[in-house]
Each structure stands twice: as C-alpha cells, then as structure tokens.
Amino acid sequence: MTIREKSAVAYLFEPTPRPAVPVAGSDKLFPVHRIYCVGRNYADHAIEMGHDPNRELPFFFQKSPDCLVLNESDFPYPTRSDDVHHEIELVVALGKGGADIPVERALDHVFGYAVGLDMTRRDLQGEAKKQGRPWEVGKSFEASAPCSAIVPASRIGHPAKGAIWLNVNGTQKQSGDIDQLIWKVPEIISYLSGLFTLQAGDLIFTGTPAGVGPVARGDKLHGGVDGIAEIRTRVV
Ligand code: MN
C-alpha cells in the first residue's frame, strides 16, 4: 500500500494546502504535483558555468512545490547566502502523466507553458558541487520558484522559438531564445518519464540561458518568454 492509498484516514493535523498556479484566462488553478528542473540546457550558460555543452545527457533536480511564488509577489532574500542568482526559464506544465513517453507523443502531455525563475543560492550550490553533495540547499529553498500564470497550449500551441530574457532594474541581464534549448521540450518530457512516473500537475523548469547573476534586496526582476508570458518580482 502506498502512502497515497492510505491517506483516506483522518489527518493528525490539517495538511498544508496544495501549491497551485493560476491559469491565464481562467478562474481555475493548476494544482502542482512536482517541480522538475533541467540543469545546463543552453550551451552559452553551460559554458559560463565551466562545462562542455556537447557532452552531457540532460540531468535533473527537483524543487519542492511549496517553493512556488506567484507572479507579482515579493521574493524574500533567503538565509545563509550572500550570492543569490536569477535564472529565467521556460516552464512546461503537464496536464497528463505517464512513464516511458515517446518523444513523438510527448507534447500530448503538455497542458500549457509559463515563465519562471529558478532562484539559486549559488554559493551553497557551489559548495555542494565541490563536495559532491546534493543541490537542495542551493536550489530548493523558500520562495525559490517564482512562476507566472500558465498559458494553455490550446491558446498558444507549443512554441519552439521565442526570445527569453530577464531585466534587473530595467537593465537586460539574460537573453536567449528557447530555440537554443539543447534538450527540446519533447525530449525532456520523454527522458524524464523514463526516470520518474510523470503526473498531471508536474512543472518542468527547462533551464536558463546565459547571463545569470546576483540579486540584491530592492532589485526589481522582470522577465519573460515572448509569445508566452512575463514575470515580475521584487527582492525584499
Ligand atoms: Mn536553472
């Protein structure tokens, strides 16, 4: 019996509410199951982080769904770090789960798209890398996943190109195009579904283009993927 099957019994205390993201043009919320993130998925970012963009299979980490922060909400500067970085990313929202999903069928599983920020305690991530430890403390901390409303694919299709950008206090820091993704959305879904059983409600942060850098309290972040969505947050 899995934990899920057993959950019909009374809870000892009220469970925390399920994290959810608004759906553009709807008053319904998208209930979030897991957040998967792809590492180094744009060549120019892989190079800026000191890696060879041509040699690696995709790799993943997760953020806890309760790290989500909605668009226009503040991003509280996290504890224990002096080097918190912005990473603007295209986010894929799955409306249908599955395992071993073939690349050709992968887009059938997509409900829609959003734009998100994979906020990163770079100093703690760097220390973890050096010591061969997990990345959690660098990646999965409070408010580390600001995310826009999800725009249904029924409205915008499955965009394969479009500028991805991030401005800090009105100055452009990151720019690229989602057609530069090393591993494309269908390939990411297919590969990921061989490692995990995907579920409706999963979000996938697909990686960031070059130009990542530190944020400070008071900074205003404004990013987007043209044709999909924009996101704004203020570091407090
Ligand atoms: Mn990232």
Residue 2 inside a domain? The answer is no
Arithmetic mean of pLDDT, 204-217: 97
Residue 130 inside a domain? The answer is yes
Query: Can you give the pLDDT at residue 129?
Result: 95
Residue 6 inside a domain? The answer is no
Query: Can you give the pLDDT at residue 6?
Result: 59
The whole-chain average pLDDT of the chain stands at 95
Is pLDDT at 218 greater than 60 in this prediction?
A: yes
Q: Ligand 1: distance of its center to the CA of 50 in Å? A: 15
Beta bridge partners of 57: none
Confidence of residue 80 (pLDDT cuts 50, 70, 90): very high
Whole-angstrom Cα distance, residue 158 to residue 11? 40
Strands ordered across the beta sheet of 120-121: 120-121, 84-86, 213-214
Query: Can you give the pLDDT at residue 57?
Result: 86
Q: Ligand 1: distance of its center to the CA of 90 in Å? A: 10
Q: Ligand 1: distance of its center to the CA of 152 in Å? A: 22
What percentage of residues in the chain have a pLDDT greater than 70?
96
Q: Ligand 1: distance of its center to the CA of 209 in Å? A: 9
Half-sphere exposure of 145 (CA within 13 A, CB side): 29
- Which domain covers residue 51, as residue numbers? 18-235
Residue 180 inside a domain? The answer is yes
The distance between the two most distant Cα atoms of the chain, rounded to a whole number of Å, is 53
Q: Ligand 1: distance of its center to the CA of 200 in Å? A: 22
Residue 37, classified by CB atoms within 10 Å of its CB into exposed (0-12), middle (13-18) or buried (19+), is buried
Instruction: Write out pLDDT tens, residues 131-150.
Output: 999 999 999 999 999 999 99
Q: Ligand 1: distance of its center to the CA of 87 in Å? A: 6
Is pLDDT at 43 greater than 60 in this prediction?
A: yes
Whole-angstrom Cα distance, residue 136 to residue 156? 33
Residue 109 inside a domain? The answer is yes
Query: Can you give the pLDDT at residue 49?
Result: 87
Residue 121 inside a domain? The answer is yes
Q: Name which of 174, 167, 171, 168 is nearest 215 in CA terms.
A: 168
Residue 148 inside a domain? The answer is yes
Q: Ligand 1: distance of its center to the CA of 208 in Å? A: 5
Lowest mean pLDDT across 28-42, 45-59, 221-235: 45-59
Residue 191 inside a domain? The answer is yes
Query: Can you give the pLDDT at residue 9?
Result: 77
The CATH number covering residue 53 comes to 3.90.850.10
Is pLDDT at 92 greater than 90 in this prediction?
A: yes
| The pTM of the whole model exceeds 0.85 | yes
Q: How many domains does the chain have?
A: 1
Is pLDDT at 55 greater than 90 in this prediction?
A: no
Is pLDDT at 123 greater than 80 in this prediction?
A: yes
